[in-house]
A and B are shown apart, each in its own frame.
Chain A
Amino acid sequence: MRHRLSPFLATMLVLGFAFLYGPIASVVIYSFNASRLVTVWAGFSTRWYGELLENDQIKGAALTSFEIAFLAATGALILGTLAGYVLARYRRFPGRTLFGALVSGPLVMPEVITGLSLLLLFVALEQAIGWPQGRGIVTIVIAHVTMGLVYVAVVVEARLSAFDRSLEEAALDLGARPWKVFAVITLPLIAPALIAGWLLAFTLSLDDLVISSFTTGPSATTLPMVIFSSVRLGVSPQINALATILLVVVAVAVVIAGRILARTRSSPMP
């Protein structure tokens, strides 16, 4: 009874995955369509990829997005790990309830509100203390760090809650100081969770449209913004090509991550 797939469930699985991947498949297929029109299949062509690689606007935006995502993910990892640690280990201190609420806040907040509120903060700060001077990459990074850190915190908290504390106690007992215990025992063993958190924050930043649009300035255009403005006008084959490239990159990354995870899982972790 445990691993038997009834015909109903098997059908649902197939339909479900067809639903999930149908649209994605269509984007990939039409990125190779020689014709500009989605309606007509005019033969296989990679011309859109060629045009894409010539498109300076998209290339610039992609670079900006990756730069922002890298910085944001790293910042989110550091702050998120601290926050997750606090949530998992420090059960009682003044203001803990507020802390818990603050960390789960951005998770449920609609992006339009987060984006708007951060922009208003930046404007108010600029009025009050002169920083940040105008908005751009820095403000987007700050916004993305705030968003990313809560996801990292959730992942880290879950991992630490399931962590075998007797390992840390044993290390203490044998003579290691608390920070040493964290660095030499805890950190290496929760590393997969940290990597997953970083990747999560990276992807969220790379993909973000709404918050970036609110918190950006004239100098910073991200990839989602470019995609959004061209997509508003309708289907664009170059966008299809871009989408396919992104898809392949992510797919490869996820498969690699999955393999690594499977290998670490074979040796039981505490």
Chain B
Amino acid sequence: MSGVLRAARPRGDRWARALVVGLPYAWLLLFFLAPAIIVLKISLAEQTLGVPPYTSLFAAGRLQATADNYLFLVSDSLYASAYLNALRFAAGATCCCLLIGYPLAYGIVRAPLRWRNALLLLVILPFWTSFLIRVYAWIGLLKGNGFINNLLLGAGLIDQPLTLLNNEFAVYVGLVYSYLPYMVLPLYAALEKLDPTLLEAASDLGCRPMQAFWRITLPLSLPGIIAGSLLVFIPMCGEFIIPELLGGSDTLMIGKVLWDEFFTNRDWPVAAAVALVMLVALVLPMGLLRRYLVREAT
């Protein structure tokens, strides 16, 4: 059947349908869209002492809005560098996740069937345990007198403990480690769908395994690569916990900046401005890119 036909819809069911659509819609409008608009509004306000600690939009009948917060963000290079840092770390960590995650996913696909479920479970398990604790685990490992340094010192490979914590290295490790399961699962899903007879046909036609991988497996798994990468890249950009626990003063990321503006400086308007800039300069373009790439690849 080539065309798509409109379904029959008896009258009585229309009310039920409106309810089914309306309930989640209303919730999301109230608790997702409205907040975004309020962020915009507050980013145009000034910080004050009081509850709440910002000026209201309308006072004595006049519009009270200022673009000071945005100007502040642009003027202080801290914000620009934090933003670029976030992009840098996220990009690097995403690539590492891909390099580690792809063989992992492919290995699971190729593993004997009876192991596959167990292996998948093992990949998913960290995903279900606390993100916070998994990041925290690295503190003990990377410390000056932590596990890794002790191991290397004890084995005589180094004389002095290496600085592995509170620097860029630790942030990269933390990012890759925490987001690896999110990369492996879409990759696994894409690789699992691959028809093994394609590789057999390639081999029959004279293609070596390495070539077959580059020319057949890799291109066909592209949707999975894109899905995994975008799933991982966007949250990484706004990551707060990892730079906070594992990073140092030179690893300022925009997520931490937002947190500090809000909790430490109690400057809600600036925090709101940072959030809005993140939204416009990061989330929106990435969201659209994701849509576009997914549509192109499938």
Contacts and interface: CB of A to CB of B under 8 A. Distances in A.
Is there a contact between chains A and B in the complex with CB atoms less than 8 Å apart?
Answer: yes
Interface of A: 1-6, 8-10, 12-13, 16-17, 19-24, 26-27, 30, 37-39, 79-80, 82-83, 85-86, 90, 93, 95, 99, 102-106, 108-114, 116-118, 120-121, 123-124, 127, 142-143, 145-146, 149, 153, 178-179, 203, 206-207, 209-210, 213-214, 224, 227-228, 231-232, 234-235, 239-240, 243, 246-247, 250-251, 253-255, 258, 262
A179 B121 contact: no
B278 interface: yes
B130 A12 contact: no
B112 A231 contact: no
A94 to B, nearest CB: 10
B27 A120 contact: no
Which DSSP category, helix, strand, loop or mixed, fits chain B's interface? helix
B293 interface: no
A110 B110 contact: no
A5 B99 CA distance: 18
Interface residues of B, number: 91
Contact of B31 (A104, A142, A234): A142
Interface stretch (B59-67, B77-85, B254-262): B254-262
Contacts, number: 247
A164 to B, nearest CB: 16
Given A24-B137, A116-B258, 15 more contacts: A3-B110, A6-B110, A9-B110, A13-B103, A20-B122, A23-B177, A38-B143, A38-B147, A82-B21, A110-B239, A120-B42, A178-B13, A224-B130, A231-B132, A235-B136
A234 B209 CA distance: 49
B3 interface: no
A122 B121 CA distance: 39
B114 to A, nearest CB: 10
Interface of B: 13, 16-17, 20-21, 23-25, 27-29, 31-36, 38-39, 42, 52, 100-101, 103-104, 106-108, 110-113, 117, 119, 121-126, 128-134, 136-141, 143, 145-147, 150, 177, 180-181, 196, 199-200, 203, 209, 234-235, 237-241, 244-245, 255, 258-259, 262-263, 268, 271-272, 275, 278-279, 282-283, 286-287, 290
